[in-house]
């Protein structure tokens, strides 16, 4: 480990300080850009999840209504459907 550190220090000493600073600044810019992109992607994912939850909720509600309409004659199925719907 110490040998590696010494080798890196030697390489760094052979380059001008301004070059090292510019390299670090460029890396910092790239990191900030990636962090911003990550933040935008998270926001987009949350929006998509919200939309999907709304769509699925409406779908479940519609399916519940359809099943209720088709199973009017069997009260046990209606009770089961109500229990499932309330859990969801």
For position 65, what pLDDT does the model report?
Answer: 83
Task: Give residues with Cβ within 8 angstroms of 70, minimum separation 6.
Answer: none
For position 15, what pLDDT does the model report?
Answer: 66
**pTM of the full structure:** 0.55
For position 88, what pLDDT does the model report?
Answer: 57
CA distance 68 to 79: 10
For position 25, what pLDDT does the model report?
Answer: 92
Count Cα neighbours of 14 within 13 Å in the Cβ-side half-sphere: 5
Q: Which domain covers residue 43, as residue numbers?
A: 1-86
For position 39, what pLDDT does the model report?
Answer: 98
For the chain, which ranges sit under pLDDT 50?
none
Structural domain tally of the chain?
Answer: 1
């Amino acid at each position: 480990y110490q040998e590696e550190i010494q080798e890196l220090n030697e390489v760094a000493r052979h380059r001008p300080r301004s070059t090292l600073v510019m390299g670090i600044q460029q890396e910092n810019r790239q990191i900030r850009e990636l962090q911003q992109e990550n933040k935008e992607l998270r926001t987009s994912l949350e929006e998509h999840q919200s939309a999907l939850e709304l769509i699925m909720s409406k779908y479940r509600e519609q399916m519940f209504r359809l099943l209720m309409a088709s199973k009017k004659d069997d009260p046990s199925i209606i009770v089961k459907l109500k229990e499932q719907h309330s859990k969801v």
